[in-house]
Amino acid sequence: MTTKRFLSLFLIALLYTPVFILISFSQVNQRTIGRYEYAQFDGVWYTVVQGKRGDLVDLKHLLVRLKDKADIKTFDFNKIGLPKLKDVRGRFADGFYELEIPEGVDPFEVAYRLQNTGKFEEVLFNVFVEVDKFPNDPYYTDQWNLGKISISNAWDIETGSSNIIVAVIDVGADYNHEDLIANRWSSIGYDFLDNDPDPYPSDGAAHGTAVAGIIGAMTNNGLGVAGIAGGWGGTGGIRIMHLDAGWKDVSGLERIGLSASAQAIDYAAAQGARVINMSFSSQTPYSPWESAINRAVNDYNVVCVASAGNYSSNESRSVRYPAAYDNVIAVGAIVQNDYRKELNDGSGDDRWGSCYGPQLDVVAPGIFIWSTDITGPAGYSYDNYTQHSVALQLPPPMLRVSLHLYFRSIHLLHGIK
């Protein structure tokens, strides 16, 4: 496409926005693999959910699981006319493997050939889901959410425990932030997207830093914000395991990888996390999530908590995954007057609503939630803390209303569902 033609189309889009939106969301070249549907929207592949665009698809990687959950090394790719596909992640989520598709090979042809062998229980493409965003603010007196949940009463009972590890699966975090460093896990965490031990978001993705701050920023230490379970006076807070499973794209959207997040769930459970926090969602119930969560809950007795998800105009309002699974605590959002966050509710951000339905377990304050930001100019602002005049969206789903129960007897949380 020439530059002139591109500019012409851009101007047309500005002048005829409704028409442009209609065209941009028209799907073409639809494919089905097992129970998953894929289609191109403006030349980019996404999943299809109820005829609409879903999650961004990674056509370079397939996620597979053999019916007998055997090692992928036992499968002979040559018998079906395929080159040996490289396993890039190892075994995760109870038998899944992530296979890299070589350059120049049709990814759908590979998927169909594997599926048609009859030996695979699951064959699907890796995807990237968007994080559920929210705003932040640097002063305790402005943290209306803490007063709304009567956090001071909870702090009379418990302010946090260094024996409790909370895994935050997100886009990485500034674990050396002045308000987070004392409460980071001893091994800090891991980057499952790049497969290295450093979960710092080199791409400037700031969502994970804000999530960590709301959960575990140090409390009563004379700095910034007060975390829910940040201890008192710089000691005794929970330990945050920072797990990077995402990235920020060129448009600024922060996304979570399906395979990376599923493997992060495995890791968190095996490394002793008592709670796994997941502030991301999809309308699709991906098998790797379900398998990893089942293993974490059933084998390691981990409490898994996830945001119920956000909906915009013409989208389903049902609770999304992984929050919709029976063994995950689903947390929705309310506004200052205790009503559920809805579209056009006059709360200060009319663009989104909080998903709801029978899977919803609890609600918590969900707009203008202020927290930590990446140190310096790399995050949401040019300060170590951020404040937004327009809300970004849902807060991290920590069970704030049950803080004292959690720290006194963590097993009680399993009775919520």
Q: Identify the bridge partners of residue 130 per DSSP, sorted by sequence position.
A: 255
Q: Is residue 18 part of a domain?
A: no
Q: Are residues 262 and 306 both part of a single domain?
A: yes
Q: Are residues 314 and 406 both part of a single domain?
A: yes
Model confidence band, residue 400 (pLDDT cutoffs 50, 70, 90): very low
Q: Is residue 9 part of a domain?
A: no
Taking the model in full, what pTM does it have?
A: 0.84
Give me the pLDDT at residue 22, please. Answer: 30
In this predicted model, what pLDDT tens digit does every residue of 267-276 receive, in sequence order? 999 999 999 9
Q: Is residue 55 part of a domain?
A: yes
Domain boundary among 127, 148, 169: 127
In this prediction, residues 13-41 reach a mean pLDDT of: 63
In this prediction, residues 260-270 reach a mean pLDDT of: 98
In this predicted model, what pLDDT tens digit does every residue of 183-193 receive, in sequence order? 999 999 999 99
Domain tally for the chain?
Answer: 2
Model confidence band, residue 88 (pLDDT cutoffs 50, 70, 90): very high
Q: Are residues 101 and 189 both part of a single domain?
A: no
Alpha carbon distance 79, 231 (integer Å): 58
Q: Is residue 343 part of a domain?
A: yes
Give me the pLDDT at residue 380, please. Answer: 58
Both tokens of 323, joined, read: 């929050």
Q: Is residue 51 part of a domain?
A: yes
Q: Can you give the CATH number for the domain in which 73 is found? A: 3.30.70
Alpha carbon distance 193, 263 (integer Å): 10
Q: Are residues 148 and 74 both part of a single domain?
A: no
Give me the pLDDT at residue 383, please. Answer: 60
Active centre residues (catalytic): 170, 207, 389
Q: Are residues 94 and 152 both part of a single domain?
A: no
Q: Is residue 265 part of a domain?
A: yes
User: 322 preceded by cis ω (within 30°)?
Assistant: yes
Q: Are residues 75 and 138 both part of a single domain?
A: no
Q: What is the DSSP secondary-structure string of 367-406?
A: SS---B--SGGGSSSSSSB---SS---PPP---GGGHHHH
Out of 83-92, 218-227, 273-282, pick the least confident. 218-227
- Percentage of residues in the chain having pLDDT higher than 70: 81
Q: Are residues 143 and 31 both part of a single domain?
A: no
Domain boundary among 99, 127, 155: 127
Q: Is residue 22 part of a domain?
A: no
C-alpha separations of 351 from 134, 341, 343, 347, 382 in Å = 12, 10, 6, 10, 25
In this prediction, residues 321-343 reach a mean pLDDT of: 91
Q: Are residues 101 and 135 both part of a single domain?
A: no
Q: Are residues 338 and 393 both part of a single domain?
A: yes
In this prediction, residues 15-19 reach a mean pLDDT of: 30
Q: Are residues 83 and 171 both part of a single domain?
A: no
Q: Are residues 93 and 223 both part of a single domain?
A: no
In this predicted model, what pLDDT tens digit does every residue of 361-375 receive, in sequence order? 988 887 877 788 888
Alpha carbon distance 217, 231 (integer Å): 8
Q: Are residues 346 and 264 both part of a single domain?
A: yes
The residue segments making up the domain with residue 192 are 131-415
Domain boundary among 74, 101, 127: 127
Q: Counting beta carbons within 10 angstroms of the beta carbon of residue 1, is it exposed (0 to 12), middle (13 to 18) or buried (19 or more)?
A: exposed
Alpha carbon distance 338, 347 (integer Å): 11
Q: Can you give the CATH number for the domain in which 262 is found? A: 3.40.50.200
Q: What percent of the chain is helix, strand and coil (3-state, nearest 5)?
A: 25, 30, 45
* Cβ-contact 357, 321 below 8 angstroms: no
Q: Is residue 229 part of a domain?
A: yes
Q: How many residues can be counted in the chain? A: 417
For residue 341, how many C-alpha atoms fall within 13 Å in the half-sphere facing its CB? 32
* Cβ-contact 275, 249 below 8 angstroms: no
**Which helix (DSSP H) or strand (DSSP E) does residue 216 occupy?**
helix 207-216
